[in-house]
Amino acid sequence: MKSSTERTSTKNKAVLLFGPTASGKTALTKTLFSEGAEIINADSVQVYRYLDIGSAKPEDELRDLIPHHLIDIRNPWEQYTAGDFVRDAEAAIEEISSRGKLPVITGGTAYYFRQLAYGPSKAPPADPDVRAEVASDIERFGKDWAYEELERIDSISASRIKRNDIYRISRAIEVYRTSGKPLSSYSVSDTLRSDIDFVIIGLKRDKKELDERIELRV
């Protein structure tokens, strides 16, 4: 008979846990921890040191209770891309799994989830010169200009990207300037990658109840 900790598959298992603020992710995380879970952060702000206000980083009490990975791993002036996240998350999944624990990926950046679970799009890689040019234009003309530029060159991506998500807006403009094609024209797989056994859990609550739970946090 196999012990409960013996791995029965060559594939690592991982949970993708997502949901809005106050939807119950923390409570479920604690339940999963009792089964041997460790958390991998998938929030594009929480990876940065010092950015504690407004980033909804887990409280020290929770981090002392449950091991967390990929939080406070970069300085604010350092770039951290979705590709960096995928590489770091894959390494964390492997390391956590090697100890017989369950990796649980959770956070607020849906793009990170998709890149990890489905793989990257076929869009061209970042070009440092074009990226610098786009950054210079945004600094000169402003963030509103950047979103309007995105609407002009790629209305589909504009409908998917929040107006304040300047990183993804910049990336979409960069892709267009590099290739002459909108980012939305590059295919993204709809099939989960096969080398990791993902379990996807999405939490949802009634809007009124969600607002009440958020109010209790303030």
DSSP string, 104-161: EEE-S-HHHHHHHHH---SPPPP-HHHHHHHHHHHHHH-HHHHHHHHHHH-HHHHHHS
pLDDT digits (tens, 9 = 90+) for 80-109: 888 899 999 999 999 999 999 999 999 878
pLDDT at 8 > cutoff 60: no
Average pLDDT over residues 184-211: 75
pLDDT at 209 > cutoff 50: no
- The predicted pLDDT at position 183 comes to 92
pLDDT band at 22 (very low <50, low <70, confident <90, very high): low
Quote the tokens at residue 109: 């950046």
All domains in the chain, ordered by first residue: 12-120+188-204 (3.40.50.300), 128-185 (1.10.20.140)
pTM equals: 0.69
d(CA 132, CA 114): 26
Least confident of 30-34, 59-63, 68-72: 30-34
pLDDT band at 120 (very low <50, low <70, confident <90, very high): confident
pLDDT at 180 > cutoff 50: yes
Average pLDDT over residues 139-145: 96
Least confident of 91-95, 130-134, 194-198, 203-207: 203-207
pLDDT band at 3 (very low <50, low <70, confident <90, very high): very low
- The predicted pLDDT at position 201 comes to 87
- The predicted pLDDT at position 107 comes to 85
Identify which has the larger pLDDT, 189 or 11. Answer: 11
Burial class (CB in 10 A: 0-12, 13-18, 19+), 203: middle
- The predicted pLDDT at position 5 comes to 43
d(CA 134, CA 115): 23
